[in-house]
Structure 1
Amino acid sequence: MSHRSIQIKIHPWKILGKRLFFVILSILSILIVTSLPSINNRLDNSQSAWGQSEFLKLNWLTREKSIDLANVDRAVVRLDGYPLFALASPTVNQRFPVEQRVQGIENELSHVANSKFDPETLHVTATIDHQSDQPVIAINDRYLMTVTTMDAQLQGRDPQGWANQLTEILREALIRARQERQPQFLIERGGIAFGILLATIVAIRVISHWLKRLKLKQETIEAQLEHTASPYLDSVAVTDLAQQLKQRQKANLCDLQRRILELGYLGVLGVSSFTILGLVPYTRGFQSFLLSTPLQILAIVLGTYLLIRISNLLIERFSGFLKAKDFAMLKPYQRLDLRVSTVSQVLRNVTAIILVGLGTLAILSTIGFDLIPLLAGAGIVGIAISFAAQGLIKDIINGFLIILEDQYAVGDVIIVGKLGGLVENMNLRITQVRNNEGQLITIPNSSIAIVQNLSKDWARVDLTIRVAYDTDPDLALNVLRKLSQEIYQEYIWRTKILEPPEVLGIDDLEHSGMLIRTWIKTQPLQQWSVAREFRRRLKIAMAKEGIAIGIPQQSVVSSDPDINLNPLETQVPPDESTPT
């Protein structure tokens, strides 16, 4: 029966696209849901009641021409969580920072909004202060703020024109704040909050149900993988191996889907809570806090984690496609399996490091660090570190060359100098091997100059046996040839032995006997088990044929006829063998 007729059709686009569609759809859904509050906020800010949209566009185009932003501190004045306008002050002005101005204005606006004023009698005026020659804004003849030249330049306006615009913005903001504090408005928003709460409960229950199903599915797949796992690769059972690979891909996809649903679970809770906070003016201020540093940092962390998981899935799917292609070609030596596993592991580590680095830079930027001097300083520090960490650089370069040249991979058995063992882990810096005593040995890649790979592509049993000198050589050779054919024809051993064993012949003749050498070409890592079984059978066959193991011989000649040279008769009892 020819096993080469087996064909496995690999459809990379189906493998990469079919299930990833669910992943991408889930990500887009989460992004859309999480962006709804910001979209709603933008729509509220763009209404004509605020009277700002035209000026915001103009300000963005003109502010850099009017003011040096590098030396200016800016802060936004808010009422009930809604942004109204921005204030500016020089960075060097520490006596009266812009944050203190903003806090004073916001406190005064909150006092007016909670004072149950009559919108019909609300007067917001802008007059010129004769002492400072700057516009002063007052609410019902009560001082609110002074419009500075820098405030106006930040908006690309003259002080008087910007002050007049601010009076309209403040009046409409206070009227809106008064309307939102009416009982009818609060009752309506309470009903909306109740509806959002019910929808959140339903969504959480649905997501929890999906999570349970995915968890059960993943556990079932992993149990099947453990049940069908094989200690060695069998080219005859290639369809089973392809099925195992497909099951592993399903398990990885289930794991990613679970992570996405867990993020969706948190996203639903976060979005619903955020939306409920923004329904009434008394809690809307918390939205501004959440949208500032804490929520942005959390979003960056979750986004980085999600990108790492997606990149791991893509790397796993691509490596799985290469392995499946290797199975379909029915290669006798599954070297690509080890190499792809090693490269994918290194790629996952490198990708995770890059994404974590980018996420860290994004967090620093969110906190307020200027990345340009930071990156410039990092370049200088990098040069200094390169001189201090030359060994690390050598490790990375040599590790890259080891992987590129496929000198060895995870799962190989190697010998480096006097150290050796099974490669359990490797990256661009180190290689970790486990020796026969179970010790984990860590070897820097820069110290690996000459390496012996005992399991790349194929292996060989170099078996020698020394038989007694007076043994019939043809009989001894025939016993070895017969034993070689028997073990090769057995299915369980033929999957490990690549070619019929070669009995090379008599390699040496000495007083101790004849040295006969046999070569057995095996699958990688199978040379030791094959050698043990061959020696066991050889001992039985030699005993059956009466072939003795070679024993060193020595002739002793004596001129005294009275001396008995028979070894059996000249043995000395142990208790009488003490030398004198």
Structure 2
Amino acid sequence: MVRCHRCFRSTVRLALLGFMTVALVLGSGAIAHSQLPSLPTANSSAFSPPDGVSRHGEYETASIRSPLDRRELFEVTSPTVLNRDRVPEGLLPVEVRAEEVNERLWRLFYRAYASEPSAQPPVVTIATLSNQPIIQASDDQSSRPIRLVTVTEPDADFNGKTLDELAQEWQTILQAEIVRFRELGSPEVIAQRIGQALQILLGLLLASAAIWWLRRRLTRRQQTLESRYQEQLAAIAVGPSPPDPEDGEAIARATLRSQVLARVQHSLSVQRQLEIGKFLTWLLFWVLIVMWYVGIARILSTVPLLMRWSLYAWTTPLVLMALWFGISLAIRISSSLINRLTHSWKTSPYLVLGEAERISLRATTISNALKGLTTSVLVIIGIIWTLSLFNIPTGSILAGGAVIGLAVSFGSQSLVKDLVNGCLILIEDQFAVGDVVQIGERSGLVENLNLRVTQLRNSEGQLITIPNSTITDVSNLTRLWSRVDFSVVAAYENDPKQVLSVLQQVCDQLYREPEWRDRLPEPPTVLGVDDLSHTGMLVRVWLKTAPMQQWIVGREFRLRVRQAFETNNIQIGKPQTVNYNTGLADVTPHN
């Protein structure tokens, strides 16, 4: 059986390792194939319009924005340029034209802001050059007007208006924007807006203090519930008091099972309260982030000197915050689903007596491993989406990751073996966190178990880390139940029946006491005389205990056996020796 089990595990390891290697090879080949250079198409960077440019058949448009708050004023139009690498002579791409107009507007508004408050605002007029209307602005600081934008035939054709009608419309928009800028740039308005910004900032600070107080109250309540939950888990691990066997074996087993499930159900109600508290703490954290985000965006849109950044505050940062809020919410939902699955597993009515206690301890290990796996996958997805949000090509990163993964799969086969063997340990329930195990020559309490390593804490307090790939033979000392294998050597001068009777009395007395009855699921068994040697009679007793209780029960039983032997004058066996005299025989003396 042992050989078949090892062969099965080796076959599973090879199958998983081969599957992962094939998947990496196929994935890297597919990604590499998608990254091969191809002929230029309409989707390539040279043939697609740049950011901020919209293509409408034969025309392309770009926005002219206010230097004050980046609000769109109007759009300029140019004939479509299919290939940005080969622009026809005499044709100006629309993005270049829009950039020139925006720079001129910024120069005009800066001059208007730097002028004296008593100076007249610039006046926007319409002139004609080469039969095309030109919109220009004049102020007191310059004798020559500043040309802002030329109204072209593509502009009029795209908007469905004549050149003069479109020029008058743009003149009105620009003049109103200059007036608005002068009004917002006055010292009175600036002082008023700064006061509003300070009020918003004060409100943010007060709301942050309230949220901090609520989070502190929730944290204290969580600590109280956590301590109560750990106490209930410890009670489940010890197990309930066994019922009286005289009621019948079936009734006794059913009663014990109902007691275990009742404790598990009560611990689950406390754990649900913990989950609700953690969700509220997480929600308050995101409320704090959203509140500061909205407050800062509001301040940027209120203060005139900061209004030019208000448009950016409502675009990319908002999408980025919504993305990671969704990732964080998905992590919490997946963790909640995993907890619900493990809870339903713990409280399944089809569990055999004794397995309920074991599964309540094992579920924590499996749920933590699943939570770590889902969290890693979701975080990687969030990072990829974040890179694509900032226009960073993720295809090359994924291709490089596939190549690196393929190299790691061949160069770090021990790591893959660790992961595969860690999965087998969890699936086969060889041991879990809280068990006392012996792995090879090392033994101790399992403090941490993941897919890569197992960490033990031995009796000297040393933390031993063992890679899962090196684990072949495991001795679990606390799975479902434990046992004290007690043996003592009695001298031949003692009556064997008396020795067995005294040991049986000690076992019965220990089992009848309520303090030790909780640790002994069934009465101890006196096996009898197990061996005869030159030291005496070897008598053996088996004491079945609850998990993790064999040591304390064994120490108490040995103490009582020592006291009972002394009371009944039972001697412990001692090694017997025989001396031989090899000297010369006595010689008769001569007279």
| Distance in 2, Cα, partners of 1:455 & 1:398 | 21
Residue 566 of structure 2: aligned partner: 543
> Identity of aligned pairs, percent?
34
**Structure 1 residue 427: Cα displacement:** 1.0
**Alpha-carbon deviations, 1:38-91, whole Å to 9, x = none?**
xxxxxxxxxxxxxxxxxxxxxxxxxx9799666654347532222465999977
Counterpart pick for 1:420 among 401, 418, 443: 443
Q: Are positions 1:270 and 2:293 aligned together?
A: yes
Q: Are positions 1:175 and 2:152 aligned together?
A: no
**Alpha-carbon deviations, 1:82-109, whole Å to 9, x = none?**
2465999977699x99998766533322
Residue 274 of structure 2: aligned partner: 251
Q: Are positions 1:520 and 2:543 aligned together?
A: yes
| Distance in 2, Cα, partners of 1:559 & 1:474 | 40
Contact map agreement 2:347 2:356 (CA 8 A) in 1: no
Counterpart pick for 1:436 among 459, 477, 501: 459
Q: 1:93 to 1:524 in 2, by over 3 A?
A: farther
Q: Are positions 1:107 and 2:103 aligned together?
A: yes
Shifted more, 233-242 versus 267-276: the winner is 233-242
Q: Are positions 1:403 and 2:426 aligned together?
A: yes
Q: 1:338 to 1:313 in 2, by over 3 A?
A: same
Residues 310-389 of structure 1 mapped to structure 2, 5 A cutoff: 310-323=333-346, 331=354, 334-389=357-412
Q: 1:136 to 1:163 in 2, by over 3 A?
A: farther
| Distance in 2, Cα, partners of 1:373 & 1:354 | 19
Q: Are positions 1:74 and 2:74 aligned together?
A: no
Contact map agreement 2:481 2:545 (CA 8 A) in 1: yes
Q: 1:137 to 1:357 in 2, by over 3 A?
A: farther
| Distance in 1, Cα, partners of 2:231 & 2:426 | 32
| Distance in 2, Cα, partners of 1:356 & 1:398 | 25
Q: 1:504 to 1:294 in 2, by over 3 A?
A: same
Contact map agreement 2:334 2:374 (CA 8 A) in 1: yes
Q: What stretches of structure 2 of length at least 5 have no aligned partner?
A: 1-40, 53-62, 114-118, 138-144, 242-258, 587-591
For normalisation by structure 1, the TM-score amounts to 0.70
Contact map agreement 1:177 1:281 (CA 8 A) in 2: no
Contact map agreement 2:484 2:544 (CA 8 A) in 1: yes
| Distance in 2, Cα, partners of 1:259 & 1:362 | 22
| Distance in 1, Cα, partners of 2:47 & 2:394 | 14
Contact map agreement 1:260 1:306 (CA 8 A) in 2: no
Residue 49 of structure 1: aligned partner: none
| Distance in 2, Cα, partners of 1:337 & 1:209 | 35
Q: 1:113 to 1:501 in 2, by over 3 A?
A: same
| Distance in 2, Cα, partners of 1:299 & 1:450 | 49
Local SS of the residue matching 2:302: coil
**Alpha-carbon deviations, 1:279-320, whole Å to 9, x = none?**
355322222343566665566556544544454444345434
Q: 1:247 to 1:69 in 2, by over 3 A?
A: farther
**Structure 1 residue 340: Cα displacement:** 0.4
Residues 214-233 of structure 1 mapped to structure 2, 5 A cutoff: 214-222=218-226, 224-225=228-229, 230=234, 232-233=237-238
Residue 261 of structure 1: aligned partner: 284
**Structure 1 residue 218: Cα displacement:** 2.6
For normalisation by structure 2, the TM-score amounts to 0.69
Q: 1:434 to 1:206 in 2, by over 3 A?
A: closer
Q: What stretches of structure 1 of length at least 5 have no aligned partner?
A: 1-63, 130-134, 149-156, 564-580
**Alpha-carbon deviations, 1:396-451, whole Å to 9, x = none?**
11111111111111111122211221111111111111112111111111111221
**Structure 1 residue 459: Cα displacement:** 1.5
Residue 153 of structure 1: aligned partner: none
**Structure 1 residue 539: Cα displacement:** 0.7
| Distance in 1, Cα, partners of 2:281 & 2:271 | 15
Local SS of the residue matching 2:425: helix
**Structure 1 residue 367: Cα displacement:** 2.7
Local SS of the residue matching 1:278: helix
Contact map agreement 1:235 1:330 (CA 8 A) in 2: no
| Distance in 2, Cα, partners of 1:434 & 1:170 | 80
Residue 477 of structure 2: aligned partner: 454
Local SS of the residue matching 1:529: helix
Counterpart pick for 1:552 among 575, 586, 589: 575
**Structure 1 residue 515: Cα displacement:** 0.7
Local SS of the residue matching 1:470: coil
Letter in 1 for 2:389: T
Residues 460-499 of structure 1 mapped to structure 2, 5 A cutoff: 460-499=483-522
Please give the root-mean-square deviation of Cα atoms over the aligned residues, in Å. Answer: 4.4
Contact map agreement 1:186 1:280 (CA 8 A) in 2: no
Contact map agreement 1:479 1:541 (CA 8 A) in 2: yes
Residue 215 of structure 2: aligned partner: 211
Contact map agreement 1:466 1:549 (CA 8 A) in 2: yes
**Structure 1 residue 253: Cα displacement:** 2.5
Contact map agreement 2:300 2:309 (CA 8 A) in 1: yes
Contact map agreement 1:456 1:524 (CA 8 A) in 2: yes
**Structure 1 residue 378: Cα displacement:** 2.4
Q: 1:329 to 1:472 in 2, by over 3 A?
A: closer
| Distance in 2, Cα, partners of 1:338 & 1:498 | 19
Q: 1:81 to 1:326 in 2, by over 3 A?
A: farther
Q: 1:504 to 1:128 in 2, by over 3 A?
A: farther
**Structure 1 residue 271: Cα displacement:** 0.5
**Structure 1 residue 235: Cα displacement:** 2.2
| Distance in 2, Cα, partners of 1:383 & 1:377 | 10
| Distance in 2, Cα, partners of 1:186 & 1:376 | 55
Contact map agreement 2:124 2:171 (CA 8 A) in 1: no
Q: Are positions 1:287 and 2:310 aligned together?
A: yes
**Structure 1 residue 112: Cα displacement:** 3.8
Letter in 1 for 2:549: Q
**Alpha-carbon deviations, 1:340-374, whole Å to 9, x = none?**
01001111211221122122212222232112232
Q: 1:120 to 1:449 in 2, by over 3 A?
A: same
Q: 1:406 to 1:219 in 2, by over 3 A?
A: closer
Residue 240 of structure 2: aligned partner: 235
Contact map agreement 1:245 1:324 (CA 8 A) in 2: no
Q: 1:69 to 1:224 in 2, by over 3 A?
A: same
- Tell me how many residue pairs correspond in the alignment: 486
Contact map agreement 1:297 1:363 (CA 8 A) in 2: yes
Contact map agreement 2:42 2:48 (CA 8 A) in 1: no
Local SS of the residue matching 2:579: coil
| Distance in 2, Cα, partners of 1:93 & 1:170 | 34
| Distance in 1, Cα, partners of 2:488 & 2:44 | 92
Q: 1:246 to 1:121 in 2, by over 3 A?
A: same
| Distance in 1, Cα, partners of 2:297 & 2:268 | 43
| Distance in 1, Cα, partners of 2:195 & 2:542 | 84
Shifted more, 553-562 versus 324-333: the winner is 324-333
Contact map agreement 1:323 1:340 (CA 8 A) in 2: yes
**Structure 1 residue 325: Cα displacement:** 5.4
